[in-house]
Structure 1
């Protein structure tokens, strides 16, 4: 097994996109107290939990717990990235105020093509960071 095998970038980016596209739903399912705070440097900090679970049906509790676990994994992977990558991914997938790609690349003062190149790089780096490369698809 190679340490750095050739990566299928297209399939890897699709997996990252699919995962990060669920971020807003995960926050809603886990509850507001489990959504990470985002600092000025786009560092994600999980809010402390008291281990309190509602006394609803087991499926609801399990769904909430799984959402909390997934948010923790995403937070850990995001914090392994540099601030620039975190900011791009946050603006694209995590900001509560859904923003168009056009607004994002205008906010960052970049061309459309540069935005997509930089976003692609950030997605690959996220895939490498998430659970030690779990999202990477080899060719």
Structure 2
């Protein structure tokens, strides 16, 4: 019988989340989004309304663009399921175009380095739970 809440390998799960979110800027470029996901003052993410214009030169490029758009939608949906604090923290770490350092982020939040990493770890696990109904969760 499968448990609803099995033991999670936090280290491996966070690694998967890092891989997904670290690809964000590449996905934005491949999808042809001008500035990535739009973000509101409450850190709700929305796709910008860029017209999808297929290139006739190669289906491979179209497929890559479409796959990038699908992945961005999955990321957006998962992010929007998080509470605003987790969403803002992950946005600042992985999606902000200023490529801020961890030090700058935790100083901006007025928190210690250790608290920042605890909060980031928690937000990453919550993201893993939200992303496609927990597909990023790695069980022990």
Shift of 1:32: 1.9
- What is the aligned partner in structure 1 of residue 36 from structure 2? 35
Change (3 A) 1:69 1:111: same
Q: CA deviation at 1:49?
A: 4.9
1:24 aligns with 25
Measure how far apart 1:36 and its partner are. Answer: 1.5
Distance 1:107 1:34, change over 3 A: closer
Is 1:137–2:135 an aligned residue pair? Answer: no
- Structure 1 equivalent of residue 7 of structure 2: 6
Which residue of structure 2 lines up, in the alignment, with residue 71 of structure 1?
A: 72
1:50 deviation in Å? 4.2
Show structure 1 runs of 5+ residues with no match: none
Partners of 2:35 and 2:96 in 1: CA distance: 15
1:15 aligns with 2:8: no
Structure 1 residue 58: deviation in Å? Answer: 1.0
Does the 8 Å CA contact 2:79/2:87 hold for their aligned counterparts? Answer: yes
Task: Give the TM-score taking structure 2 as reference length.
Answer: 0.95
- Asked if the contact 1:34–1:46 (Cα under 8 Å) also holds between the matched residues in 2, the reply is no
Mapped to 2, the partners of 1:28 and 1:50 lie a distance apart of: 15
In terms of mean alpha carbon deviation, does 42-51 or 4-13 score higher? 42-51
Q: Is the Cα–Cα contact under 8 Å of residues 33 and 50 in structure 2 kept in the other structure? A: no
Q: What is the CA-CA distance between 1:34 and the residue it aligns to? A: 7.9
Out of 30-39 and 18-27, give the one that drifted further: 30-39
C-alpha distance after superposition, 1:61-83 (max 9, x if no partner):
11111000000000000000011
Give the alignment's TM-score, normalised by structure 1: 0.95
**RMSD of aligned residue pairs (Cα, Å):** 1.2
CA distance in 2, matches of 1:50, 1:29: 14
